[in-house]
Structure 1
Amino acid sequence: MTRKYFGTDGIRGTANKEPMTAEIALKVGKSAGKKFAGRGDFRHRVVIGKDTRLSGYMVEPALTAGFTSVGMDVILVGPLPTPAIAMLTRSLRADLGVMISASHNSFEDNGIKLFGPDGYKLSDEVEKSIEADLIDDSNIVLAEPAMLGRAQRLEDARGRYIEFAKSSFPRNQLLKGLKIVVDCANGAAYKVAPTVLWELEADVISMGVAPNGFNINDGCGSTSTEAMCKRVVEEGADLGIALDGDADRLLICDENGRLVDGDQLMALIARTWQSREKLRGGGIVSTVMSNMGLEKFLQGHGLTLARTNVGDRYVVEHMRQHGFNVGGEQSGHIVLSDYSTTGDGLIAALQILSVIVEKGGKVSEVCHNFDPWPQILKNVRYGAGDPLAGSAVQKAIRDGEIRLGSEGRLLIRKSGTEPLIRVMGEGTNDSLVNEIVDNIVNEVAASAG
């Protein structure tokens, strides 16, 4: 069945327009509740969290109504990071976890991410079965009046996640003496991230901690790091940490205001964990987007880079199937399965900070592990149809591959979360890569009209 609602990271779209309507959210609650509430003769429960978007006030009660209508109890935790919902789902022995968020997108969008009782995102098969009910929900049996679910708020949810995050940081270390700028994107981590760093005795300068429903990811966070980088230099800070709207990804900048992407961070964690005999799987897992420089760095240390399709769910699936405990994406999703079942920007930041404390050097030195190959990524927005199917587009791609040869690679794909064609080129010759990517982008744009 072709997917109508679910993408690579749950359901996502413009708020109050299909598929991100109250009606669809109600159906998701009923369908997902039906799937998980039928197991065993006991009360079933779902944990629901959200980020700070205005539309969360619409989606949250609609989901709650759906779940309670099929007999599931609902635990509401309010604004918390996506990894906190995964953690609380396991901790509370819930049957299901739901995060209402469109991650790094602007406030106009929202999304629904679903986690199973083990804290992992639902499989494609389960999502397909839920989607079938969204299209035709006539077979969903509603609960009898006496069996309706209840809803309640968990008042100490934030404190539980703060303690969970801190437990991942070595007990013999503190962040005393480190001045850290943390940009929370006016999103889900706006309270927990500064609190964790402060309790570990860092000198914390907070940004993006005044959400108003509209300003999530607006000129701040991991997708707009200019203000954070500037603030680090102005304050003479040691580093900056930028989270996205639901805090499942991060980027770091050094004391000079220069960005450190997810590839560099994964390289540092992999090498450190290898030296501590903590790394499993003989390497790490990342996506086809990760830089060849990372792959060459890992090979130099006797480690492998296993590549997957784009999307942290595919990274996690490969990690689980093949015994890896470090994985992630260049964009800053970093999954450390010793601690979390999904990307966790705050826990990944704490692992990096632990190495910085241990080595005692500047962030620009500690976090620079390899020289990346020149890599260009450009996006082309499109409407209906398939812009990649055009003969001119295919010819431009073939020509580009021939010109790059063994000294580079191309990756052209549709985004799983937005109507975008992503064109990535990588190679040892910067100007050649730029030229080839521009040629392909022009043809895709022409095909897309």
Structure 2
Amino acid sequence: MSRKLFGTDGVRGRANSWPMTAEVALKLGAAAGHFFRRDDSAAHRVVIGKDTRLSGYMLENALTAGLASTGMNVLLVGPVPTPAVGFLTRSMRADLGVMISASHNPHEDNGIKFFGPDGFKLSDQAEAEIEAMLEADLPLAPASNIGRVKRIDDGRGRYQEFVKTSFPTGLSLEGLKVVIDCAHGAAYRAAPEVLWELGATVIPLGTAPNGTNINDRCGSTHTETAAEAVITHGAHVGIALDGDADRVMIIDETGKVADGDQIMALFAARWGAEGRLKGDTLVATVMSNLGLETFLKTRGLHLKRTAVGDRYVVEEMRKNGFNLGGEQSGHIVMTDYATTGDGLAAALQFLAEMARTGEKASTLTRQFETVPQLLKNVRYQAGAQPLAAAKVQQVIAANEARIAGKGRILIRKSGTEPLIRVMAECEDEALLLDVVDEIVEAVAAAG
């Protein structure tokens, strides 16, 4: 069953433009409510969280109306991180969880992500079935059985107490000065409070959301803000979250940024040494650096690659019982603690390593030497299919031949934006640049 509305991480787009309109959200709510409402009892409930985007109010109300119309009772938890919705859905015995967020995208965008009763994101098949219902004449609940709606004031607090349990007993963050950049997003209150409660001296950034400043020159996609603060305040480490706090970047005491590959390498090596890494395997996407793969092999560990998207990482982990995975972009999935990427939980694991070993962040974030990697994005017009063009395919094939045996090329469409992502890895940096630029030029001409 095909999907047109859903991308790699739910439904996403420009707010007040299709598909991020109140009308579509209303229909999505009704379809999801019908899909998850298995009988006519009054016990069915759904948890809805959101980040701090202005459009979140509009979409929250529309989704609520659609869900309530099918008899679902709606619990509104307000601004909370995406992993909090996964946790609360399972913790509160809800049939469905919804997160309204466009993650690291600018405030003009928004998105809708669904979680099943187990707290995990929905499968492609489930999303396709919900999408197919949008044009159907769905049965509505009788007037006496319309769903009730109420706000839950302690949802964030529940998540904060839960995420603190992932921090090892007996350790403390006393003596650590930590910069935390919340990107004016969903964790603007939760993250600084958790760090302070665990003993850290906290320097908070990005904690004054106004509806339009989420991810604006801050957070995990603009790490220069946190890096500057680390240097200015003489902090031991910086933590940069994205708008919905499901990804993290670590900044060492010198201001250098470590991506998800280095963080995953640290965790995999530690867990592997302790016998905690299930299957001796780390799950990552095709985007992860070749250096990570080599690092794991030298320690007798394995790397399993998936398509891009944390949902596909999680699917592979669940299928084979692995407990650690993630993406270079900073999604770190630790199923011992959470059902999805959790930037704050991953940050706590990193800080625990600092506290346990006494090592500087700069030591812990340099686990392996990266193979030179270059990624460039090419925006294309709506309806265009640049990768199908014969000229583009010829250029790609020619450059794959040039780099064969020396590196690799990966080209894919973004699942959340009208972009073609062109990535290559090669020890010969001059060849790397030339290969990527030739492909980018051809894609741009065709798009």
Spell out, residue by residue over 1:409-433, the C-alpha distance to the aligned partner (whole angstroms, 9 max, x if none).
0000100000000000101111111
Name the residue aligned to 1:160: 158
Name the residue aligned to 2:361: 363
Q: Percent identity?
A: 61
In the superposition, the TM-score normalised over structure 2's length comes to 0.99
Q: What one-letter code is carried by the residue in structure 1 that aligns with 2:132?
A: A
Q: What one-letter code is carried by the residue in structure 1 that aligns with 2:354?
A: I
Name the residue aligned to 1:348: 346
Cα separation, 1, equivalents of 2:178 and 2:40: 48
In the superposition, the TM-score normalised over structure 1's length comes to 0.98
Structure 1 residue 42: deviation in Å?
Answer: 4.5
Contact 2:186–2:243 under 8 Å retained in 1: yes
Cα separation, 1, equivalents of 2:7 and 2:116: 17
Cα separation, 1, equivalents of 2:361 and 2:404: 36
Spell out, residue by residue over 1:264-293, the C-alpha distance to the aligned partner (whole angstroms, 9 max, x if none).
000000011112211102210000000000
Name the residue aligned to 1:291: 289
CA RMSD of aligned residues (A): 0.9
Matches for 1:162-181 after TM superposition, within 5 Å = 162-181=160-179
* 1:272 counterpart = 2:294: no
Q: What one-letter code is carried by the residue in structure 2 that aligns with 1:169?
A: F
Structure 1 residue 39: deviation in Å?
Answer: 4.1
Contact 2:69–2:146 under 8 Å retained in 1: yes
Matches for 1:183-262 after TM superposition, within 5 Å = 183-262=181-260
Match of residue 302, structure 2, among 293, 304, 315: 304
Cα separation, 1, equivalents of 2:209 and 2:285: 32
Name the residue aligned to 1:95: 95
Q: What one-letter code is carried by the residue in structure 1 that aligns with 2:419?
A: L
- Which secondary structure state, in structure 2, belongs to the residue aligned with residue 7 of structure 1? coil
Contact 1:13–1:19 under 8 Å retained in 2: yes
Matches for 1:417-432 after TM superposition, within 5 Å = 417-432=416-431
Name the residue aligned to 2:35: 35
* 1:59 counterpart = 2:59: yes
Contact 2:5–2:131 under 8 Å retained in 1: yes
Cα separation, 2, equivalents of 1:389 and 1:424: 18
Cα separation, 1, equivalents of 2:57 and 2:40: 32
Q: What one-letter code is carried by the residue in structure 2 that aligns with 1:74?
A: V
Contact 1:74–1:150 under 8 Å retained in 2: yes
Contact 2:10–2:112 under 8 Å retained in 1: yes
Contact 1:359–1:366 under 8 Å retained in 2: no
Name the residue aligned to 1:79: 79
Aligned length: 446
Cα separation, 2, equivalents of 1:129 and 1:175: 46
Cα separation, 2, equivalents of 1:409 and 1:228: 32
- Which secondary structure state, in structure 2, belongs to the residue aligned with residue 78 of structure 1? strand
Structure 1 residue 327: deviation in Å?
Answer: 0.2
- Which secondary structure state, in structure 2, belongs to the residue aligned with residue 281 of structure 1? helix
Name the residue aligned to 1:6: 6
Name the residue aligned to 1:48: 48
Structure 1 residue 406: deviation in Å?
Answer: 1.4
Cα separation, 2, equivalents of 1:391 and 1:229: 44
Unmatched segments (≥5 aa) in structure 1 = none
Cα separation, 1, equivalents of 2:395 and 2:280: 38
Cα separation, 2, equivalents of 1:125 and 1:299: 34
- Which secondary structure state, in structure 1, belongs to the residue aligned with residue 305 of structure 2? strand
Q: What one-letter code is carried by the residue in structure 2 that aligns with 1:152?
A: K
Unmatched segments (≥5 aa) in structure 2 = none
Name the residue aligned to 2:261: 263
Cα separation, 1, equivalents of 2:260 and 2:252: 14
Structure 1 residue 3: deviation in Å?
Answer: 2.2
Contact 2:42–2:71 under 8 Å retained in 1: no
Cα separation, 1, equivalents of 2:391 and 2:355: 53
- Which secondary structure state, in structure 1, belongs to the residue aligned with residue 265 of structure 2? helix
Of 275-284 and 237-246, the range deviating more from structure 2: 275-284
Cα separation, 2, equivalents of 1:390 and 1:124: 28
Contact 2:230–2:237 under 8 Å retained in 1: yes
